[in-house]
Amino acid sequence: MERILVIGANGQIGNELVTALALQHGADNVIAADLGPRNPFAAAHYEAIDVLDRRLVARIIDTYGITQVYQLAALLSVTGEQAPLKAWSLNMDGLLNILEIARERNAAGKPLRVFWPSSIAAFGPGTPQDNTPQQTVMDPTTIYGISKLAGERLCQYYFSKYDVDVRSIRYPGIISYKSPPGGGTTDYAIAIFHAALRGEPYECYLSADTALPMIYMPDAIRATIALMDASADRIAVRSSYNVAGLSFNPAQLADAIGRQRSGFAITYAPDARQEIADTWPHSLDDSVARSDWNWQPRIALAALVTDMLANVAVVPQEVGQAA
Ligand code: VAH
């Protein structure tokens, strides 16, 4: 029986992953964990923890008899640039703590399977941007991307040297409606729906032709669990797998929304986030994930737009905003 710990459970991916894992394994077998008070979860258990407190995390893993850990706690690309040392510490030491616990558990004959999210942010301006291959030049320019590239190498190291069963996906921009996004460059693709549903034009901080790889949350969750459920002999990549759902630019997304919400308008005012997006891929080659563990995206742009428009809770206008 699997007992699963999700660290970073209050985040955009975390709380949907907790729900999906509870459906699959039973709520009593999923322990949600994060820094603050709990979000409403399907999990039966919640622990307030700091992933940087290795002794506490190890104690919780032993107390619950954990067999799988999803280490999702991190600062993303935009918030990372505002606090680079904090981002480096959380993103790197958080991962290292879990890998060290897994190494110790392996040595004690109690193996722990680990999931850790990388990102397209691990690529950089030297990376071929169209159909970015699994193996290529990686020269990230953000502290977030640098931590993701370093983290991928740590995952490979702990697998090769200590046989730690750690698995990873380079997530593209993830689009969802169940929780607010948290400081990412790709978050325009969520905020645009709130504007559309308020009947307002959306001012996009990226230029119209900034194509980025994206994925709808249900596909992202399905890919994550499929990777963790795959038999170890199928996992040939122990750094991190390219996985993508679709690719589009703001103009294409606005056009798809306009076809379902007549009168929707977008304007463009690129800001500092444009410089980050310009260093990232336009689209990904995820053929290795498709061949190794049968990854296959299911949700295309029109269906994504329909589902988001049907489910996004309209965020009230911030006080003081123009009516
Ligand atoms: C970010 N949403 O924008 C995250 C993601 C691919 C980007 O890692 O920072």
pLDDT at 71: 98
- Cα separation, 281 vs 293, whole angstroms: 23
Q: Which two tokens stand for residue 131?
A: 């159909």
Of all protein residues, the one whose alpha carbon is nearest to atom 1 of ligand 1 is 184
The rounded Å distance from CA 104 to ligand 1 centre is 31
For all residues of the chain together, what is the average pLDDT?
94
Distances (CA, A) of 252 to 197, 211, 283, 305: 18, 9, 14, 11
- Cα separation, 11 vs 205, whole angstroms: 23
Query: Is residue 117's pLDDT more than 70?
Result: yes
Query: Is residue 309's pLDDT more than 90?
Result: yes
Q: Which two tokens stand for residue 44?
A: 């039966």
The burial of 104, by beta-carbon neighbours within 10 Å (0-12 exposed, 13-18 middle, 19 or more buried), is given as middle
Indicate if ligand 1 lies below 6 Å from the C-beta of 279. Answer: no
Query: Is residue 322's pLDDT more than 70?
Result: no
Query: Is residue 156's pLDDT more than 60?
Result: yes
* Mean pLDDT score, 314-323: 44
Share of the chain above pLDDT 70, in %: 97
Domain boundaries along the sequence of the chain = 4-173+216-242, 174-213+245-311
Strands 30-34 and 4-7 come out as parallel
* Mean pLDDT score, 1-16: 94
pLDDT category at 315 given cuts 50, 70, 90 is low
- Cα separation, 122 vs 107, whole angstroms: 31
Indicate if ligand 1 lies below 6 Å from the C-beta of 245. Answer: no
> To test the ligand 1 pocket, which listed residue (90, 174, 217, 274) has its Cβ within 8 A of the most ligand atoms?
174
Q: Which two tokens stand for residue 127?
A: 């990376």
The rounded Å distance from CA 32 to ligand 1 centre is 22
Nearby residues of 187 by Cβ (< 8 Å), 6 or more positions away: 78, 173, 181
For domain 4-173+216-242, which CATH number applies: 3.40.1590.10, 3.40.50.720, 3.40.47.10, 3.30.479.30?
A: 3.40.50.720
209 near 248, Cβ under 8 Å?
A: no
Q: Give the pTM.
A: 0.94
pLDDT at 44: 84
* Mean pLDDT score, 224-247: 98
Share of the chain above pLDDT 90, in %: 91
pLDDT at 305: 98
pLDDT at 321: 36
Q: Specify the 3-state DSSP secondary structure of 91.
A: helix
Query: Is residue 188's pLDDT more than 70?
Result: yes
Distances (CA, A) of 152 to 123, 159, 163, 172, 302: 12, 11, 15, 15, 33
Query: Is residue 93's pLDDT more than 90?
Result: yes
The CATH classification number of 174-213+245-311 equals 3.90.25.10
* Mean pLDDT score, 107-126: 97
Helix ranges restricted to H, the chain? 14-25, 54-64, 77-82, 84-88, 94-107, 143-162, 188-197, 217-229, 250-258, 272-277, 287-293, 301-311
pLDDT category at 37 given cuts 50, 70, 90 is confident
The burial of 233, by beta-carbon neighbours within 10 Å (0-12 exposed, 13-18 middle, 19 or more buried), is given as exposed
pLDDT category at 275 given cuts 50, 70, 90 is very high
The rounded Å distance from CA 120 to ligand 1 centre is 7
Handedness of CA 197, 199, 203, 209 (dihedral sign): positive
Output phi, psi for 124, to 5 deg. -150, -165
pLDDT category at 323 given cuts 50, 70, 90 is very low
Indicate if ligand 1 lies below 6 Å from the C-beta of 119. Answer: yes
String of DSSP letters for 279-314:
TS-SSB--HHHHHHH-------HHHHHHHHHHHPPP
Query: Is residue 100's pLDDT more than 80?
Result: yes
- Cα separation, 272 vs 227, whole angstroms: 34
pLDDT category at 316 given cuts 50, 70, 90 is low
Q: How many CB atoms lie within 10 A of CB 259?
A: 11
